[in-house]
């Protein structure tokens, strides 16, 4: 039996609750992972309205994912962990996988980390290691977004002990932060934000998967193989690209209503973070003929959401740095009032790397 359908061992580990990826305004607890900010009901895929039709393969995959934990609507979504927790557990029963290029890995990495390409992870998880022998498997990337994307796919495959390190290597020490998040944050497009709420399109349908397979398990594994084979190509999009022509994209805002109404990318449509993925009436309103840009405060939640949408055939991208990449000064000013999570020097540690 493929590990995708192995018992989700770590989902039953007591009290391992994960913090929300874009709000993050809870203090760090003594637990190994961060506490959930709010409980979310586990909601299976919802029936479609009679006027909306989706392909049989899509329906089978939705049903299969729902029956096998409904990860994207569980308390474990998104699965993020702080650098401080990773550092505290170096030498213990955790596996750190560095997804950066071999050159960056060779120049400096977390002690005990192994360098792996995203494309190689499925076969390595199946034959190279015994994943469930580790208490946690930590994925690390430059800024945390590619690791969030990859963590979502592995979690959906059944690896319930995989986490993405929040902020990526930028949270490890100032060298990486200076070249990464601290350099990437920007308020350059604050003057172009709009406060008008945009209506979501009518529900029409979801992409056809067309794998030719007959069960949700088979369809899912075929889709996972394809996404991993594609690697990191076309996963991330920048604020410069989006603001150059917002109408070119279908832009999804994954934030609270008050944050959305205070200012968002022109044309962006708000979808609720807790009731979109896996809800067929919601997903069927996302156009299948446009590139979909998903964004939130930090890009972590949107990284997870992008993986799920791409699994179902959408041409989805996550916005690099999220709101931090285009309205940073506004986030800093309203940090308390709207519970924004701007990246600052407070999020940077002073941990060592090895070569």
Each residue's pLDDT expressed in tens, for the chain with a length of 355 residues: 444 444 333 333 333 333 344 644 333 333 344 433 333 433 444 555 556 778 999 999 999 999 999 999 999 999 999 999 999 999 999 999 999 999 999 999 999 999 999 999 999 999 999 999 999 999 999 999 999 999 999 999 999 999 999 999 999 999 999 999 999 999 999 999 999 999 999 999 999 999 999 999 999 999 999 999 999 889 999 999 999 999 999 999 999 999 999 999 999 999 999 999 999 999 999 999 999 999 999 999 999 999 999 999 999 999 999 999 999 999 999 999 999 999 999 999 999 999 9
In this structure, are residues 297 and 23 in contact, taking their beta carbons and an 8 Å threshold? yes
pLDDT at 52: 72
Per DSSP, 248 falls in state G
Q: Is residue 340 part of a domain?
A: no
The share of the chain scoring above pLDDT 90, in percent, equals 84
Dist. CA 69–CA 42, nearest whole Å: 8
Domain count, the chain: 2
pLDDT of residue 334: 97
Q: What is the pLDDT of residue 258?
A: 97
DSSP 171-222: GT-HHHHHHTHHHH---TTGGG-B----PPPPP----------SSHHHHHHH
Q: What is the distance between the alpha carbons of residues 311 and 306, in angstroms, rounded to a whole number?
A: 8
* End residue of a domain, out of 146, 166, 184: 184
Tell me, yes or no, whether 106 and 196 share the same domain.
no
- Position 51 scores a pLDDT of 61
Whole-number pLDDT of residue 22: 62
Residues 231 and 323 in one domain: yes
How does DSSP classify residue 63?
H
- Residue 281: C-alpha distances to residues 46, 47, 164, 287 (Å): 7, 8, 29, 12
Same domain for 45 and 150, yes or no, is: yes
How many angstroms separate the CA atoms of 113 and 353, rounded?
Answer: 10
The answer to whether residues 348 and 354 touch, using CB atoms and an 8 Å cutoff, is no
pLDDT of residue 5: 40
Q: Concatenated DSSP letters for 93-152?
A: SEEEEE-S-HHHHHH-B-TT-EE--GGGHHHIIIII--GGGSSEEEEE-SSSHHHHHHHH
Instruction: Reduce the DSSP state of residue 164 to 3 states and report it.
Output: strand
Looking up residue 53, the CATH number of its domain turns out to be: 3.40.250.10
| Together in a domain, 8 and 119 | yes
Biggest alpha carbon distance in the chain?
59
Q: How far is residue 133's CA from residue 122's CA, in Å, rounded to a whole number?
A: 16
In a domain, residue 354? The reply is: no
Whether residues 179 and 234 fall in one domain: no
Q: Is residue 208 part of a domain?
A: yes
Q: Are 38 and 256 in contact (CB under 8 A)?
A: no
The reply to whether 125 and 253 lie within a common domain is: no
Shared domain check, 43 and 137:
yes
Residue 152 lies in domain: 3-184
Q: What is the C-alpha to C-alpha distance for residues 162 and 135, in angstroms, rounded to an integer? A: 9
Say whether both 253 and 168 belong to one domain.
no
Residue 347 lies in a domain: no
Assigned domain for 345 exists: no
Whether 83 and 131 map to the same domain: the answer is yes
- Which pTM does this prediction carry? 0.88
Establish if 123 belongs to a structural domain: yes
Q: Are residues 202 and 329 in the same domain?
A: yes
């Amino acid at each position: 039996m493929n590990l995708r359908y192995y018992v989700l061992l770590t989902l039953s580990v007591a009290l391992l609750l994960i913090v929300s990826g874009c709000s993050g305004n809870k203090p760090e607890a003594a637990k190994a992972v961060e506490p959930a900010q709010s409980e979310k009901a586990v909601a299976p895929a919802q029936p479609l309205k009679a006027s909306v039709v989706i392909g049989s393969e899509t329906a089978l995959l939705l049903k299969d994912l729902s029956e096998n934990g409904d990860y994207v609507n569980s308390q474990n979504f998104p699965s993020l962990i702080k650098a401080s927790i990773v550092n505290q557990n170096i030498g213990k029963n955790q596996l750190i996988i560095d997804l950066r290029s071999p050159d960056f890995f060779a120049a400096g990495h977390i002690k005990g980390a192994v360098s792996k390409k995203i494309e190689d992870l499925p076969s390595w998880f199946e034959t190279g290691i015994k994943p469930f022998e580790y208490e946690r498997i930590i994925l690390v990337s430059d800024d945390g977004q590619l690791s969030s994307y990859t963590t979502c796919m592995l979690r959906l495959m059944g690896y319930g002990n995989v986490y993405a390190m929040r902020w990526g290597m930028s949270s490890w020490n100032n060298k990486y932060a200076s070249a990464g998040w601290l350099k990437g944050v920007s308020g350059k497009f604050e003057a172009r934000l709009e406060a008008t709420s945009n209506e979501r399109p009518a529900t029409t349908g979801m992409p056809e998967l067309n794998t030719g397979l007959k069960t949700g398990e088979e369809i899912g594994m075929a889709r996972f193989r394809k996404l991993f084979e594609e690697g990191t190509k076309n996963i991330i999009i920048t604020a410069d690209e989006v603001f150059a022509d917002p109408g070119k994209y279908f832009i999804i805002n994954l934030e609270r209503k008050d944050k959305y109404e205070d200012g968002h990318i022109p044309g962006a449509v708000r979808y609720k973070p807790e009731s979109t993925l896996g809800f067929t009436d919601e997903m069927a309103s996302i156009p299948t003929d446009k590139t979909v840009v998903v964004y939130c405060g930090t890009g972590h939640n949107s990284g997870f959401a992008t993986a799920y949408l791409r699994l179902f055939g959408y041409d989805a991208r996550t916005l690099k740095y999220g709101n931090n990449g285009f309205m940073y000064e506004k986030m800093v000013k309203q940090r308390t009032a709207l519970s924004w999570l701007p990246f600052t020097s407070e999020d940077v540690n002073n941990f060592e790397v090895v070569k």
